[in-house]
Structure 1
Amino acid sequence: MYRVIDVRRSGDRYPGGEPEAGIESRHAFSFGPHYDPDNLRFGAILACNEEHLAPGAGFDEHPHSHTEIVTWVVEGELTHRDSTGHETRVRPGDVQRLSSGGGVRHVERNDGTVPLTFVQMWLAPRDPGGAPGYEVVRGIADSTPYDVPAAGAMLHVRRLAAGGRTELPGASHVYVHVVRGAVRLGGTELAAGDAARVTGEAGPQTLAVSDAELLVWEMPE
């Protein structure tokens, strides 16, 4: 039977970024100077960051290694460039994955004229190292699973109309992030930016209080 082991409210996230440079970050897990030994990971997930970039703002080239990085754009358009030669623009509805392998460098910017908001999730690979990899799935359909086999994890995108219901997957670890709207899970209401970390084997039902969009990670370990 599932039980919600932790509900993290949007307002409880650790603040970060450089607001004076147009970068505002909100971290769900221990990150940078906000060290919490009891909040280092959940299943394969190491980070779930909400990033807000003003027009013209962005993260200059920086390195990553031994991490699967999955990005979901909420609004605006993200420009991505990396040291393996990829340059893409990621839009709402697209799933971007950067497998950093033994090491890769990338740039993330808002080259548009409107604010950019995206959610970026870092997952630990089962086997660190290897060659970097990259892909973008354009306009992923509702309920279409996106597999990240290197981390043993599956991402489900759920878009619900008000009053709609969905079952969470049955897995030992399930992470639910509310992108927009509000839902009721296990008797608890979650709003945009809130998240629930759930354990067990039988998926509880989620009810949309309003039109809602969810990112749901299914992890067997």
Structure 2
Amino acid sequence: MIEHRPFLSLGAIRRDWLDARLHFRFGETGHADHAPLGPLYVWNDDVFAPHSGFGLHAHRDAEIVTWVRSGAITHEDDAGNCARLVADSVQAMSAGTAIHHAERNEEDMPARLFQIWLRPRTPGGTPRWATRACSRELREGRFITLASGDPADVSAGALPINADARVRIATLREGTPVQHVLPMPGLAYLVADHGRLDVGYVRLAPRDGVVIRDEAQLMLTARDDTDVVIVELLRKGG
């Protein structure tokens, strides 16, 4: 089953510096039917205005994966990590028992990013942070795993997360079909970033999402050049 979540149906948070759309309901914000999918409970489509962002704040017991789509953000945390993440970069942060971090756009142009939060397999633990780049050339026509709770993915270069999920990205070209096999149990959430995409019989506009349930494989056909980001669940219960 493929459930379409059009971008314009998503909950919104708007500040003078932030324009966020919520693929999943968070607190009282968002569509009542946009419930979490297993451990996946936040997928925000964020735009940070120049010279703005989140100051130092705390997280615990969350696996947070951030994909920078354009512009750049600067990360700092109380574990001593500091980095400027440019477009086509991903960071994975395990909050563990607690971590304080700041995420700001210190640039002169807006920053666009996906913020994806997953519930950990087990609570607590030592906080952890890592980052990597994934160029368009590397992901051209195929999915690359950015972060994963599967040790085999981590051995192949994915960032480690403490969750039963993997986060993947592909750059698909207009008119090119791709058949994508999902891991059991066939649960996933997918977003087309900046172009139209057919997922089976469902046509996505840019920034639309789909919930995928009980599907062994997907036929993806790009109607425009687009990036496709997917979170695949690795266990039924999540």
Give the structure-1-normalised TM-score: 0.92
Match of 1:66 among 52, 55, 61: 61
Match of 2:148 in 1: 148
Q: Distance in 1 between matches of 2:216 and 2:130?
A: 32
Q: Is 2:229 aligned against 1:215?
A: yes
| Conservation of the 8 A alpha-carbon contact between 2:39 and 2:120 | yes
> Offset of 1:201 from its aligned partner?
4.3
- SS of 1:204's partner is strand
- Residue identity in the other structure for 1:11: L
Q: Distance in 1 between matches of 2:147 and 2:74?
A: 23
Match of 1:11 in 2: 8
- Residue identity in the other structure for 2:213: T
Match of 1:161 in 2: 173
Question: What percentage of aligned pairs have identical amino acids?
Answer: 27
- SS of 1:11's partner is helix
Q: Distance in 2 between matches of 1:163 and 1:43?
A: 32
| Conservation of the 8 A alpha-carbon contact between 1:170 and 1:200 | no
Match of 1:77 in 2: 72
| Conservation of the 8 A alpha-carbon contact between 2:50 and 2:106 | yes
Unaligned runs of at least 5 residues, structure 2: 150-161
Match of 1:178 in 2: 192
Q: Which has the higher contact order (CA 8 A, sep 6+)?
A: 1
Aligned pairs for 1:20-99 (under 5 A) are: 20=16, 22-34=17-29, 38-99=33-94
Equivalent pairs counted in the alignment come to 216
- SS of 2:181's partner is coil
| Conservation of the 8 A alpha-carbon contact between 2:4 and 2:210 | yes
Unaligned runs of at least 5 residues, structure 1: none
RMSD between aligned residues: 1.5
Match of 2:201 among 187, 190, 195: 187
- SS of 1:151's partner is coil
Which aligned runs of 4 or more in structure 1 are off by greater than 4 angstroms?
35-38
Q: Is 2:122 aligned against 1:127?
A: yes
> Offset of 1:37 from its aligned partner?
6.0
| Conservation of the 8 A alpha-carbon contact between 2:63 and 2:94 | yes
